[in-house]
Structure 1
Amino acid sequence: MSYKIVFFDIDGTLVNDEKQVPQDTIDAIAELKASGIEPVIATGRAPYFFKPLAELLHIDSFVSLNGAYVVYKGEPLYKRTLPLSSLEKLVEAAGRNNHSLVFEGNEQFFANSEAHPFIMESVNSLRVEQPGFDPEFWRNSDIYQVFLHCEAADEHLYDQVFDDLRLVRWHPKAMDVTVMGGSKAVGIESMLARLNISPSEAVAFGDGLNDMEMLEHVGLGIAMGNSHPELLPYADYVTASVDEGGIRQGLRHAGLIG
Protein backbone atom coordinates (compact mmCIF):
# COMPACT_ATOMS: atom_id res chain seq x y z
CA MET A 1 0.00 0.00 0.00
CA SER A 2 1.22 3.49 -0.88
CA TYR A 3 0.36 5.74 2.06
CA LYS A 4 -0.21 9.47 1.55
CA ILE A 5 -0.72 10.94 5.03
CA VAL A 6 0.27 10.14 8.63
CA PHE A 7 -1.56 11.17 11.80
CA PHE A 8 0.36 11.43 15.07
CA ASP A 9 -0.97 11.53 18.61
CA ILE A 10 1.11 13.73 20.93
CA ASP A 11 1.35 12.50 24.52
CA GLY A 12 3.18 9.19 24.70
CA THR A 13 3.63 9.20 20.92
CA LEU A 14 5.48 12.31 19.74
CA VAL A 15 6.51 13.32 23.26
CA ASN A 16 7.70 11.25 26.22
CA ASP A 17 6.70 11.45 29.88
CA GLU A 18 8.81 14.59 30.26
CA LYS A 19 6.90 16.14 27.33
CA GLN A 20 10.08 16.22 25.28
CA VAL A 21 10.33 15.21 21.62
CA PRO A 22 13.22 12.77 21.10
CA GLN A 23 15.67 13.99 18.49
CA ASP A 24 15.19 10.78 16.54
CA THR A 25 11.48 11.59 16.25
CA ILE A 26 12.25 15.11 15.02
CA ASP A 27 14.57 13.68 12.37
CA ALA A 28 12.06 11.00 11.32
CA ILE A 29 9.28 13.57 10.84
CA ALA A 30 11.63 15.72 8.76
CA GLU A 31 12.45 12.71 6.57
CA LEU A 32 8.75 11.99 6.19
CA LYS A 33 8.07 15.55 5.03
CA ALA A 34 11.04 15.43 2.66
CA SER A 35 9.52 12.35 1.02
CA GLY A 36 6.34 14.31 0.27
CA ILE A 37 4.13 12.64 2.89
CA GLU A 38 1.90 14.92 4.98
CA PRO A 39 2.35 14.68 8.79
CA VAL A 40 -0.70 15.72 10.81
CA ILE A 41 -1.14 16.03 14.57
CA ALA A 42 -4.16 14.12 15.95
CA THR A 43 -4.61 14.81 19.64
CA GLY A 44 -7.00 15.28 22.51
CA ARG A 45 -5.20 18.53 23.24
CA ALA A 46 -6.50 21.95 22.26
CA PRO A 47 -4.49 23.96 19.68
CA TYR A 48 -3.03 26.32 22.31
CA PHE A 49 -1.59 23.29 24.12
CA PHE A 50 0.62 22.17 21.24
CA LYS A 51 1.55 25.25 19.21
CA PRO A 52 5.28 25.10 20.17
CA LEU A 53 5.39 21.39 19.26
CA ALA A 54 3.77 22.00 15.88
CA GLU A 55 6.26 24.77 15.19
CA LEU A 56 9.18 22.57 16.23
CA LEU A 57 8.10 19.79 13.86
CA HIS A 58 6.92 22.18 11.12
CA ILE A 59 3.44 20.64 11.12
CA ASP A 60 0.63 23.03 10.15
CA SER A 61 -2.37 20.68 10.03
CA PHE A 62 -4.11 19.09 12.97
CA VAL A 63 -7.04 17.15 14.35
CA SER A 64 -7.46 18.58 17.85
CA LEU A 65 -9.75 18.26 20.85
CA ASN A 66 -10.36 14.57 20.11
CA GLY A 67 -11.60 15.30 16.60
CA ALA A 68 -13.86 18.24 17.43
CA TYR A 69 -11.72 20.97 15.80
CA VAL A 70 -9.84 20.22 12.59
CA VAL A 71 -7.52 22.57 10.68
CA TYR A 72 -5.65 21.95 7.42
CA LYS A 73 -2.82 24.37 6.66
CA GLY A 74 -4.47 27.14 8.65
CA GLU A 75 -7.98 26.55 7.32
CA PRO A 76 -10.62 25.19 9.72
CA LEU A 77 -12.28 22.16 8.12
CA TYR A 78 -14.51 20.79 10.85
CA LYS A 79 -16.01 22.01 14.12
CA ARG A 80 -18.19 20.09 16.56
CA THR A 81 -19.12 21.82 19.79
CA LEU A 82 -20.89 20.51 22.88
CA PRO A 83 -24.57 21.52 22.94
CA LEU A 84 -25.49 24.05 25.60
CA SER A 85 -28.13 21.69 26.98
CA SER A 86 -25.49 18.98 27.44
CA LEU A 87 -23.15 21.40 29.17
CA GLU A 88 -25.94 22.43 31.53
CA LYS A 89 -26.46 18.80 32.56
CA LEU A 90 -22.73 18.26 32.97
CA VAL A 91 -22.28 21.36 35.13
CA GLU A 92 -25.22 20.34 37.31
CA ALA A 93 -24.01 16.75 37.75
CA ALA A 94 -20.40 17.75 38.44
CA GLY A 95 -21.55 20.35 40.94
CA ARG A 96 -23.71 17.78 42.71
CA ASN A 97 -20.66 15.50 42.99
CA ASN A 98 -18.23 18.29 43.93
CA HIS A 99 -16.12 17.65 40.82
CA SER A 100 -14.39 20.53 39.05
CA LEU A 101 -14.57 21.22 35.32
CA VAL A 102 -12.31 22.87 32.75
CA PHE A 103 -14.02 24.19 29.61
CA GLU A 104 -12.01 24.20 26.39
CA GLY A 105 -12.67 26.55 23.51
CA ASN A 106 -10.51 26.55 20.41
CA GLU A 107 -8.48 29.56 21.59
CA GLN A 108 -8.64 29.55 25.41
CA PHE A 109 -9.77 27.51 28.40
CA PHE A 110 -11.21 28.24 31.82
CA ALA A 111 -12.01 26.34 35.01
CA ASN A 112 -15.01 26.64 37.29
CA SER A 113 -12.77 26.21 40.37
CA GLU A 114 -9.73 28.18 41.44
CA ALA A 115 -6.50 26.26 42.15
CA HIS A 116 -8.26 22.92 42.56
CA PRO A 117 -5.59 20.25 43.25
CA PHE A 118 -6.98 17.80 40.67
CA ILE A 119 -6.95 20.50 37.98
CA MET A 120 -3.46 21.60 38.91
CA GLU A 121 -2.13 18.03 38.84
CA SER A 122 -3.72 17.00 35.54
CA VAL A 123 -2.99 20.21 33.65
CA ASN A 124 0.57 20.35 35.00
CA SER A 125 1.10 16.86 33.56
CA LEU A 126 0.61 18.42 30.10
CA ARG A 127 3.33 20.99 30.83
CA VAL A 128 1.04 23.88 29.92
CA GLU A 129 -0.25 26.92 31.79
CA GLN A 130 -3.11 26.54 34.22
CA PRO A 131 -6.56 27.61 33.01
CA GLY A 132 -8.09 30.90 33.94
CA PHE A 133 -11.08 31.09 36.27
CA ASP A 134 -14.46 31.74 34.70
CA PRO A 135 -17.35 29.51 35.85
CA GLU A 136 -19.62 30.99 33.15
CA PHE A 137 -17.24 30.58 30.18
CA TRP A 138 -19.29 27.68 28.88
CA ARG A 139 -22.42 29.82 28.58
CA ASN A 140 -20.84 32.43 26.30
CA SER A 141 -18.34 30.53 24.13
CA ASP A 142 -18.15 27.54 21.82
CA ILE A 143 -16.93 24.60 23.92
CA TYR A 144 -15.35 21.67 22.12
CA GLN A 145 -14.32 19.57 25.11
CA VAL A 146 -14.41 19.57 28.91
CA PHE A 147 -12.07 18.09 31.49
CA LEU A 148 -14.09 16.41 34.24
CA HIS A 149 -11.92 16.02 37.34
CA CYS A 150 -12.63 12.92 39.37
CA GLU A 151 -10.93 9.66 40.26
CA ALA A 152 -11.82 6.33 38.64
CA ALA A 153 -13.75 5.25 41.75
CA ASP A 154 -16.24 8.07 41.09
CA GLU A 155 -16.84 7.40 37.40
CA HIS A 156 -19.97 5.41 38.23
CA LEU A 157 -21.63 8.62 39.35
CA TYR A 158 -21.95 9.55 35.69
CA ASP A 159 -23.26 6.22 34.44
CA GLN A 160 -26.58 6.65 32.66
CA VAL A 161 -26.51 10.41 33.30
CA PHE A 162 -25.74 11.41 29.72
CA ASP A 163 -26.80 9.82 26.45
CA ASP A 164 -25.14 12.47 24.30
CA LEU A 165 -21.73 12.83 25.96
CA ARG A 166 -18.69 10.53 25.94
CA LEU A 167 -16.25 10.30 28.87
CA VAL A 168 -12.72 8.95 28.32
CA ARG A 169 -10.07 8.89 31.04
CA TRP A 170 -6.70 10.42 30.19
CA HIS A 171 -5.28 11.05 33.69
CA PRO A 172 -5.83 9.47 37.13
CA LYS A 173 -7.68 12.63 38.13
CA ALA A 174 -9.29 13.68 34.84
CA MET A 175 -11.50 12.57 31.94
CA ASP A 176 -12.20 14.12 28.56
CA VAL A 177 -15.86 14.90 27.93
CA THR A 178 -16.80 15.09 24.25
CA VAL A 179 -19.91 14.74 22.11
CA MET A 180 -21.12 11.15 21.83
CA GLY A 181 -20.04 9.78 18.47
CA GLY A 182 -17.11 12.16 18.28
CA SER A 183 -13.55 10.85 18.08
CA LYS A 184 -10.23 11.48 16.41
CA ALA A 185 -11.44 9.17 13.63
CA VAL A 186 -14.35 11.51 12.86
CA GLY A 187 -12.02 14.48 12.64
CA ILE A 188 -9.56 12.52 10.52
CA GLU A 189 -12.30 11.49 8.11
CA SER A 190 -13.27 15.14 7.59
CA MET A 191 -9.69 15.90 6.53
CA LEU A 192 -9.34 12.81 4.35
CA ALA A 193 -12.58 13.65 2.56
CA ARG A 194 -11.37 17.20 1.88
CA LEU A 195 -8.07 15.90 0.49
CA ASN A 196 -9.71 13.08 -1.47
CA ILE A 197 -7.62 10.49 0.35
CA SER A 198 -9.00 7.09 1.27
CA PRO A 199 -8.67 5.90 4.90
CA SER A 200 -6.76 2.92 3.50
CA GLU A 201 -4.08 5.37 2.33
CA ALA A 202 -3.57 6.80 5.83
CA VAL A 203 -1.36 5.80 8.76
CA ALA A 204 -1.92 6.72 12.41
CA PHE A 205 0.25 6.46 15.53
CA GLY A 206 -1.19 6.46 19.06
CA ASP A 207 -0.83 5.11 22.57
CA GLY A 208 -3.99 5.90 24.55
CA LEU A 209 -7.62 4.98 24.97
CA ASN A 210 -8.75 7.91 22.82
CA ASP A 211 -6.76 6.47 19.90
CA MET A 212 -8.82 3.30 19.45
CA GLU A 213 -11.13 4.59 16.72
CA MET A 214 -8.29 6.35 14.95
CA LEU A 215 -6.09 3.26 14.67
CA GLU A 216 -9.04 1.18 13.55
CA HIS A 217 -10.15 3.70 10.93
CA VAL A 218 -6.93 4.06 8.92
CA GLY A 219 -5.15 1.66 6.63
CA LEU A 220 -2.28 1.13 9.06
CA GLY A 221 -2.81 1.73 12.77
CA ILE A 222 0.41 1.75 14.78
CA ALA A 223 0.48 1.51 18.57
CA MET A 224 3.50 2.71 20.51
CA GLY A 225 5.39 0.24 22.66
CA ASN A 226 4.34 2.25 25.72
CA SER A 227 0.62 2.06 24.79
CA HIS A 228 -2.25 1.37 27.13
CA PRO A 229 -2.81 -2.42 26.95
CA GLU A 230 -6.42 -1.96 25.87
CA LEU A 231 -5.29 -0.13 22.72
CA LEU A 232 -3.21 -2.98 21.34
CA PRO A 233 -6.08 -5.03 19.84
CA TYR A 234 -6.93 -2.04 17.64
CA ALA A 235 -3.43 -1.79 16.15
CA ASP A 236 -2.10 -3.42 13.00
CA TYR A 237 1.46 -3.05 14.25
CA VAL A 238 3.11 -2.35 17.61
CA THR A 239 6.28 -0.30 17.36
CA ALA A 240 8.89 0.58 19.99
CA SER A 241 8.21 3.12 22.74
CA VAL A 242 8.51 6.85 22.20
CA ASP A 243 12.00 6.95 23.76
CA GLU A 244 13.23 3.91 21.85
CA GLY A 245 12.78 5.16 18.30
CA GLY A 246 9.15 4.09 17.98
CA ILE A 247 8.20 6.73 15.42
CA ARG A 248 11.12 5.92 13.12
CA GLN A 249 10.52 2.18 13.46
CA GLY A 250 6.84 2.58 12.65
CA LEU A 251 7.47 4.82 9.63
CA ARG A 252 9.99 2.30 8.34
CA HIS A 253 7.46 -0.49 8.80
CA ALA A 254 5.04 1.55 6.71
CA GLY A 255 7.70 1.95 4.03
CA LEU A 256 7.65 5.74 4.31
CA ILE A 257 11.26 6.44 5.28
CA GLY A 258 14.52 4.60 4.87
Structure 2
Amino acid sequence: MEKQVVFFDLDGTLLTSDLKVASSSIEAIHRIREQGAEPVIATGRTIMEIGYVMEETGIQSCVAMNGQYVIYDGEIIYENPLDVNEVKALHEGSSRKGHELAFYNAENITVTAGGSDLITKNYERVGSVYPPIDDRLYLDETIHQMLIFCEAGEEAYYQERFPYFQFVRNSPFGCDIYPAGTSKATGIERLLTSKNIPRESTYAFGDGLNDLEMFQLVEHPIAMGNALDNVKKAAKYVTNSHDEDGILNGLLMCGLLDSKLVY
Protein backbone atom coordinates (compact mmCIF):
# COMPACT_ATOMS: atom_id res chain seq x y z
CA MET A 1 0.00 0.00 0.00
CA GLU A 2 1.36 3.45 -0.96
CA LYS A 3 2.15 5.92 1.80
CA GLN A 4 -0.68 8.41 2.25
CA VAL A 5 0.18 12.08 2.71
CA VAL A 6 -2.21 14.60 4.28
CA PHE A 7 -1.67 18.34 3.79
CA PHE A 8 -3.15 20.69 6.41
CA ASP A 9 -3.69 24.39 5.88
CA LEU A 10 -3.36 26.32 9.15
CA ASP A 11 -5.51 29.45 9.54
CA GLY A 12 -9.17 28.52 9.44
CA THR A 13 -8.29 24.84 9.15
CA LEU A 14 -5.87 23.18 11.57
CA LEU A 15 -5.99 26.26 13.81
CA THR A 16 -9.21 27.12 15.63
CA SER A 17 -10.57 30.66 15.94
CA ASP A 18 -8.37 31.22 18.99
CA LEU A 19 -5.32 30.13 16.95
CA LYS A 20 -4.83 26.84 18.76
CA VAL A 21 -4.70 23.26 17.53
CA ALA A 22 -7.75 21.41 18.89
CA SER A 23 -6.95 18.44 21.12
CA SER A 24 -9.09 16.29 18.83
CA SER A 25 -6.89 17.31 15.88
CA ILE A 26 -3.68 16.50 17.73
CA GLU A 27 -5.02 13.06 18.68
CA ALA A 28 -6.25 12.40 15.14
CA ILE A 29 -2.89 13.35 13.63
CA HIS A 30 -1.10 11.01 16.03
CA ARG A 31 -3.52 8.23 15.03
CA ILE A 32 -3.06 8.59 11.28
CA ARG A 33 0.71 8.68 11.74
CA GLU A 34 0.53 5.43 13.71
CA GLN A 35 -1.33 3.96 10.73
CA GLY A 36 1.45 5.01 8.35
CA ALA A 37 0.15 8.31 6.94
CA GLU A 38 2.40 11.37 6.72
CA PRO A 39 0.94 14.72 7.93
CA VAL A 40 2.33 17.87 6.29
CA ILE A 41 1.51 21.53 6.96
CA ALA A 42 0.65 23.58 3.84
CA THR A 43 0.41 27.26 4.69
CA GLY A 44 0.88 30.83 3.59
CA ARG A 45 2.86 31.40 6.75
CA THR A 46 6.60 31.06 7.13
CA ILE A 47 8.47 28.54 9.26
CA MET A 48 9.36 30.96 12.07
CA GLU A 49 5.66 31.59 12.75
CA ILE A 50 4.56 27.99 13.21
CA GLY A 51 7.05 26.36 15.55
CA TYR A 52 4.41 25.86 18.24
CA VAL A 53 2.12 24.06 15.77
CA MET A 54 4.87 21.72 14.63
CA GLU A 55 5.82 20.99 18.24
CA GLU A 56 2.24 20.30 19.37
CA THR A 57 1.40 18.08 16.42
CA GLY A 58 4.79 16.47 15.90
CA ILE A 59 4.66 17.47 12.22
CA GLN A 60 8.15 18.08 10.82
CA SER A 61 7.27 18.64 7.17
CA CYS A 62 5.87 21.85 5.72
CA VAL A 63 4.98 23.50 2.43
CA ALA A 64 5.44 27.10 3.57
CA MET A 65 4.88 30.57 2.11
CA ASN A 66 2.34 29.29 -0.43
CA GLY A 67 4.64 26.68 -1.92
CA GLN A 68 7.81 28.75 -2.12
CA TYR A 69 9.70 26.88 0.63
CA VAL A 70 9.37 23.17 1.38
CA ILE A 71 10.86 21.07 4.14
CA TYR A 72 10.40 17.33 4.61
CA ASP A 73 11.26 15.78 7.94
CA GLY A 74 13.20 18.95 8.79
CA GLU A 75 15.23 18.98 5.55
CA ILE A 76 14.88 21.73 2.92
CA ILE A 77 13.95 20.08 -0.36
CA TYR A 78 12.80 23.11 -2.39
CA GLU A 79 12.86 26.89 -2.30
CA ASN A 80 11.87 29.50 -4.83
CA PRO A 81 13.31 32.93 -3.97
CA LEU A 82 11.75 36.07 -5.40
CA ASP A 83 13.68 38.04 -8.00
CA VAL A 84 15.34 41.02 -6.31
CA ASN A 85 14.70 43.41 -9.19
CA GLU A 86 11.02 42.47 -9.30
CA VAL A 87 10.73 42.97 -5.54
CA LYS A 88 12.45 46.35 -5.85
CA ALA A 89 10.06 47.46 -8.59
CA LEU A 90 7.03 46.53 -6.50
CA HIS A 91 8.49 48.22 -3.43
CA GLU A 92 8.96 51.44 -5.36
CA GLY A 93 5.48 51.18 -6.85
CA SER A 94 3.76 50.50 -3.54
CA SER A 95 5.65 53.39 -1.91
CA ARG A 96 4.28 55.76 -4.52
CA LYS A 97 0.76 54.51 -3.77
CA GLY A 98 1.24 54.75 0.00
CA HIS A 99 0.92 51.02 0.69
CA GLU A 100 3.28 49.18 3.01
CA LEU A 101 4.85 45.76 2.42
CA ALA A 102 6.12 42.84 4.49
CA PHE A 103 9.06 40.69 3.42
CA TYR A 104 9.22 37.01 4.37
CA ASN A 105 11.82 34.27 4.47
CA ALA A 106 12.20 31.23 6.72
CA GLU A 107 13.94 33.15 9.51
CA ASN A 108 12.64 36.72 9.27
CA ILE A 109 9.61 38.92 8.71
CA THR A 110 10.05 42.66 8.34
CA VAL A 111 7.74 45.50 7.30
CA THR A 112 8.44 48.72 5.49
CA ALA A 113 7.08 51.17 8.09
CA GLY A 114 5.81 51.52 11.63
CA GLY A 115 2.50 52.79 12.91
CA SER A 116 0.30 51.22 10.23
CA ASP A 117 -3.23 50.37 11.29
CA LEU A 118 -3.55 47.67 8.62
CA ILE A 119 -0.26 46.05 9.64
CA THR A 120 -1.29 46.10 13.29
CA LYS A 121 -4.66 44.47 12.55
CA ASN A 122 -3.13 41.89 10.21
CA TYR A 123 -0.71 40.54 12.79
CA GLU A 124 -3.21 40.74 15.64
CA ARG A 125 -5.44 38.54 13.48
CA VAL A 126 -2.84 35.75 13.52
CA GLY A 127 -1.88 36.21 17.17
CA SER A 128 1.42 37.88 16.39
CA VAL A 129 3.09 41.22 17.09
CA TYR A 130 4.12 44.07 14.82
CA PRO A 131 7.22 42.86 12.93
CA PRO A 132 10.55 44.71 12.94
CA ILE A 133 10.88 47.59 10.48
CA ASP A 134 13.37 47.02 7.67
CA ASP A 135 12.48 48.11 4.15
CA ARG A 136 15.76 46.76 2.74
CA LEU A 137 15.61 43.13 3.85
CA TYR A 138 15.24 42.00 0.23
CA LEU A 139 18.60 43.62 -0.59
CA ASP A 140 20.38 41.73 2.18
CA GLU A 141 18.60 38.37 2.34
CA THR A 142 16.68 35.94 0.14
CA ILE A 143 12.93 36.66 0.13
CA HIS A 144 10.32 34.00 -0.62
CA GLN A 145 7.05 35.90 -0.14
CA MET A 146 5.67 39.37 0.45
CA LEU A 147 2.47 40.86 1.80
CA ILE A 148 0.92 44.13 0.72
CA PHE A 149 -1.35 45.93 3.16
CA CYS A 150 -4.29 47.45 1.33
CA GLU A 151 -8.06 47.59 1.31
CA ALA A 152 -10.10 44.99 -0.57
CA GLY A 153 -9.99 45.62 -4.31
CA GLU A 154 -6.89 47.79 -4.28
CA GLU A 155 -4.74 44.82 -5.25
CA ALA A 156 -6.17 44.98 -8.79
CA TYR A 157 -3.96 48.01 -9.46
CA TYR A 158 -0.86 45.96 -8.64
CA GLN A 159 -1.96 42.80 -10.42
CA GLU A 160 -2.25 44.77 -13.67
CA ARG A 161 1.13 46.49 -13.33
CA PHE A 162 3.16 43.64 -11.83
CA PRO A 163 1.97 40.54 -13.72
CA TYR A 164 4.97 38.45 -12.69
CA PHE A 165 3.45 38.35 -9.19
CA GLN A 166 0.04 37.22 -8.03
CA PHE A 167 -1.81 39.02 -5.26
CA VAL A 168 -4.01 36.66 -3.25
CA ARG A 169 -6.12 38.22 -0.53
CA ASN A 170 -5.70 36.46 2.81
CA SER A 171 -7.59 38.89 5.05
CA PRO A 172 -9.43 42.24 4.98
CA PHE A 173 -6.05 43.85 5.62
CA GLY A 174 -3.86 42.61 2.82
CA CYS A 175 -2.71 40.10 0.21
CA ASP A 176 -0.02 37.48 -0.07
CA ILE A 177 2.39 38.08 -2.95
CA TYR A 178 4.30 35.30 -4.67
CA PRO A 179 5.34 34.46 -8.25
CA ALA A 180 2.62 34.12 -10.87
CA GLY A 181 1.92 30.51 -11.75
CA THR A 182 3.02 29.18 -8.37
CA SER A 183 1.01 28.12 -5.33
CA LYS A 184 0.87 25.60 -2.52
CA ALA A 185 0.37 23.03 -5.29
CA THR A 186 3.78 23.93 -6.76
CA GLY A 187 5.50 23.10 -3.50
CA ILE A 188 3.41 19.96 -3.02
CA GLU A 189 4.38 18.72 -6.48
CA ARG A 190 8.05 19.20 -5.59
CA LEU A 191 7.58 17.24 -2.39
CA LEU A 192 5.72 14.39 -4.11
CA THR A 193 8.35 14.15 -6.85
CA SER A 194 11.22 14.23 -4.39
CA LYS A 195 9.74 11.43 -2.28
CA ASN A 196 8.18 9.42 -5.14
CA ILE A 197 4.69 9.75 -3.70
CA PRO A 198 1.79 9.27 -6.20
CA ARG A 199 -1.04 11.81 -6.32
CA GLU A 200 -3.53 9.01 -5.69
CA SER A 201 -2.24 8.89 -2.11
CA THR A 202 -2.73 12.59 -1.35
CA TYR A 203 -5.28 14.39 0.83
CA ALA A 204 -5.63 18.06 1.75
CA PHE A 205 -7.65 20.15 4.22
CA GLY A 206 -8.28 23.84 3.54
CA ASP A 207 -10.66 26.77 3.69
CA GLY A 208 -9.34 29.72 1.70
CA LEU A 209 -8.46 31.08 -1.73
CA ASN A 210 -4.84 29.96 -1.53
CA ASP A 211 -6.03 26.36 -1.09
CA LEU A 212 -7.79 26.10 -4.45
CA GLU A 213 -4.75 24.98 -6.48
CA MET A 214 -3.89 22.48 -3.76
CA PHE A 215 -7.42 21.08 -3.99
CA GLN A 216 -7.07 20.71 -7.76
CA LEU A 217 -3.83 18.78 -7.35
CA VAL A 218 -4.54 16.26 -4.59
CA GLU A 219 -6.78 13.25 -5.01
CA HIS A 220 -8.90 13.86 -1.91
CA PRO A 221 -9.60 17.56 -1.10
CA ILE A 222 -11.50 18.19 2.15
CA ALA A 223 -13.04 21.62 2.83
CA MET A 224 -13.73 22.88 6.32
CA GLY A 225 -17.28 23.82 7.26
CA ASN A 226 -16.13 27.44 7.55
CA ALA A 227 -14.51 27.40 4.07
CA LEU A 228 -15.38 29.83 1.30
CA ASP A 229 -18.14 28.58 -0.99
CA ASN A 230 -15.84 28.12 -4.00
CA VAL A 231 -13.45 26.09 -1.85
CA LYS A 232 -16.32 23.83 -0.78
CA LYS A 233 -17.33 23.39 -4.42
CA ALA A 234 -13.78 22.26 -5.25
CA ALA A 235 -13.76 19.66 -2.46
CA LYS A 236 -14.62 15.98 -2.47
CA TYR A 237 -15.73 16.19 1.18
CA VAL A 238 -16.99 19.03 3.42
CA THR A 239 -16.38 18.50 7.11
CA ASN A 240 -17.29 20.50 10.22
CA SER A 241 -15.75 23.89 10.95
CA HIS A 242 -12.29 24.36 12.43
CA ASP A 243 -13.98 25.04 15.78
CA GLU A 244 -16.11 21.87 15.68
CA ASP A 245 -13.62 19.01 15.37
CA GLY A 246 -13.46 19.49 11.59
CA ILE A 247 -10.08 17.79 11.22
CA LEU A 248 -11.09 14.70 13.17
CA ASN A 249 -14.41 14.36 11.35
CA GLY A 250 -12.82 15.02 7.96
CA LEU A 251 -10.28 12.24 8.52
CA LEU A 252 -13.15 9.93 9.44
CA MET A 253 -15.19 10.99 6.38
CA CYS A 254 -12.42 10.27 3.89
CA GLY A 255 -11.55 6.93 5.49
CA LEU A 256 -8.09 7.80 6.77
CA LEU A 257 -9.19 7.26 10.34
CA ASP A 258 -11.18 4.32 11.69
CA SER A 259 -13.94 5.40 14.06
CA LYS A 260 -13.20 2.32 16.19
CA LEU A 261 -9.79 3.80 16.99
CA VAL A 262 -11.16 7.15 18.17
CA TYR A 263 -11.91 7.57 21.83
Quickly name the TM-score band, shorter chain normalised.
over 0.9
Displacement of 1:95 in angstroms is: 0.6
**8 Å CA contact 1:100, 1:113 repeated in 2:** yes
Tell me the alpha carbon deviations over residues 51-102 of structure 1, each in whole angstroms, 9 at most, x when there is no partner: 1111000000000000000000111011001111210121011111100001
User: Which residue is 2:225 aligned to?
Assistant: 225
Tell me the alpha carbon deviations over residues 121-175 of structure 1, each in whole angstroms, 9 at most, x when there is no partner: 1011111232111111111111110010000142232241012101000010110
Give the whole-Å Cα distance in 1 for the aligned partners of 2:27 and 2:152.
38
User: Which residue is 1:171 aligned to?
Assistant: 171
Displacement of 1:3 in angstroms is: 6.1
Matches within 5 A, 1:94-109: 94-109=94-109
Regions of 4+ moved over 6 Å: none
**8 Å CA contact 1:67, 1:187 repeated in 2:** yes
User: Which residue is 2:110 aligned to?
Assistant: 110
Structure 2, unmatched stretches of 5+, are 259-263
User: Which residue is 1:142 aligned to?
Assistant: 142
Q: What is the root-mean-square deviation of aligned Cα atoms in Å?
A: 1.3
User: Which residue is 2:42 aligned to?
Assistant: 42
The secondary structure found in structure 2 opposite 1:45 is coil
User: Which residue is 2:212 aligned to?
Assistant: 212
What's the % identity of the aligned pairs?
37
Give the whole-Å Cα distance in 1 for the aligned partners of 2:81 and 2:230.
28
The secondary structure found in structure 1 opposite 2:163 is coil
* TM-score with structure 1 setting the length: 0.97
* TM-score with structure 2 setting the length: 0.95
User: Which residue is 1:255 aligned to?
Assistant: 255
Give the whole-Å Cα distance in 2 for the aligned partners of 1:153 and 1:192.
35
Instruction: From the superposition, tell whether residues 106 and 134 of structure 1 become closer, same or farther in structure 2 (CA, over 3 Å).
Output: same
User: Which residue is 1:14 aligned to?
Assistant: 14
Give the whole-Å Cα distance in 2 for the aligned partners of 1:250 and 1:186.
24
Amino acid at match of 2:164: D
Give the whole-Å Cα distance in 2 for the aligned partners of 1:95 and 1:20.
35
**8 Å CA contact 2:155, 2:175 repeated in 1:** no
Give the whole-Å Cα distance in 1 for the aligned partners of 2:50 and 2:130.
14
**8 Å CA contact 2:120, 2:130 repeated in 1:** yes
User: Which residue is 2:199 aligned to?
Assistant: 199
Give the whole-Å Cα distance in 2 for the aligned partners of 1:39 and 1:105.
23
Structure 1, unmatched stretches of 5+, are none
**8 Å CA contact 2:2, 2:201 repeated in 1:** yes
**8 Å CA contact 2:3, 2:38 repeated in 1:** no
Give the whole-Å Cα distance in 1 for the aligned partners of 2:68 and 2:155.
23
User: Which residue is 2:59 aligned to?
Assistant: 59
Give the whole-Å Cα distance in 2 for the aligned partners of 1:92 and 1:230.
34
**8 Å CA contact 1:81, 1:179 repeated in 2:** no
**8 Å CA contact 1:15, 1:22 repeated in 2:** yes
1:71 partnered with 2:71: yes
